[in-house]
Amino acid sequence: MLPTIQTSAATFFLLFLLVGCPAALGGPKPHPHRLPCKRLVFYFHDVLYNGHNSNNATATIVGAPAWGNTTLLAGQNHFGDLVIFDDPITLDNNLRSTPVGRAQGFYLYDKKDIFTAWLGFSFVFNSTQHKGSINFAGADPLMNKTRDISVIGGTGDFFMSRGVATLMTDAFEGEVYFRLRVDIKLYECW
Ligand SMILES: *[C@@H]1O[C@H](CO)[C@@H](O)[C@H](O)[C@H]1NC(C)=O
Ligand SMILES: *[C@@H]1O[C@H](CO)[C@@H](O)[C@H](O)[C@H]1NC(C)=O
Ligand SMILES: *[C@@H]1O[C@H](CO)[C@@H](O)[C@H](O)[C@H]1NC(C)=O
Ligand SMILES: *[C@@H]1O[C@H](CO)[C@@H](O)[C@H](O)[C@H]1NC(C)=O
């Protein structure tokens, strides 16, 4: 019986060497793509319609709770408001810089007691620098200085791209204007 036990122990030790050691010796790591394969920084500018700025507005409330309306954001942290936007994207933080694309999609306010939103939108590019789109989705806890949302895919120059985008509110003017800095880190590039 004794040799059998020794054989088992030897087998176990061999398995331990094969399975346990490569990682300990700096072999393959569980997350090989911890550094982004591509990084892009943009700003986008949201001018929300407020009843007086229809020439200037690039966003509008299209849905409101029964106690609100589609002209002004509702009380209780805008809970229930749904906004559609077609916002210019710029390379710097100047609203008047030549846009390089459009941020198109929606945000909705989804919590009564905290100021927070949910975002679903695309960056649509049609310039000499970039052609194609990047698609974003995720929760946007607005009171955080920075928030991460998912980059869930892309087309054209951004075919099959995935990653994370760090959002930062770079500026705001009341409930009419805000500017987001979007730091896109792609971890999957084709
Ligand atoms: C819309 O709601 C706001 C309050 O959220 C109110 O001040 C405003 O008068 C309302 N406007 C209309 C047209 O009902
Ligand atoms: C992109 O720009 C080109 C050249 O200006 C234009 O011909 C084309 O229709 C545009 N495509 C889209 C999807 O806007
Ligand atoms: C928001 O910020 C708080 C505190 O700074 C942090 O604990 C939390 O993880 C952040 N949440 C998100 C979604 O970034
Ligand atoms: C458009 O709205 C923004 C934000 O309120 C403001 O800074 C800008 O001056 C406006 N532009 C025009 C042409 O009215």
CB of residue 177 inside a 6 A radius of ligand 4: yes
Q: In whole angstroms, how far apart are CA 123 and each of 28, 131, 142?
A: 35, 10, 20
pLDDT, mean of residues 22-32: 56
Instruction: Kindly indicate the confidence band of residue 21, based on its pLDDT and cuts at 50, 70 and 90.
Output: very low
* pTM for the model: 0.81
Mutation choice for ligand 3 from 110, 144, 169, CB with most ligand atoms inside 8 A: 144
40: tokens are 């892009």
82: tokens are 């749904």
Beta strands (DSSP E) in 33-176 are 38-47, 59-63, 82-90, 101-109, 117-126, 131-140, 146-156, 162-173
Q: Which atom of ligand 1 lies nearest, measured to the CA of 69?
A: 1
d(CA 89, CA 97): 9
- Note the pLDDT tens digit of each residue in 138-178: 999 999 999 999 999 999 999 999 999 999 999 999 999 99
- Note the pLDDT tens digit of each residue in 58-111: 999 999 999 999 999 999 999 999 999 999 999 999 999 999 999 999 999 999
Mutation choice for ligand 1 from 60, 67, 69, 78, CB with most ligand atoms inside 8 A: 69
> What b/e sequence results for 161-183 when a residue is b if at least 16 CB atoms lie within 10 Å of its CB, and e otherwise?
bbbbbebebeeeeeebbbbbbbb
pLDDT, mean of residues 7-24: 48
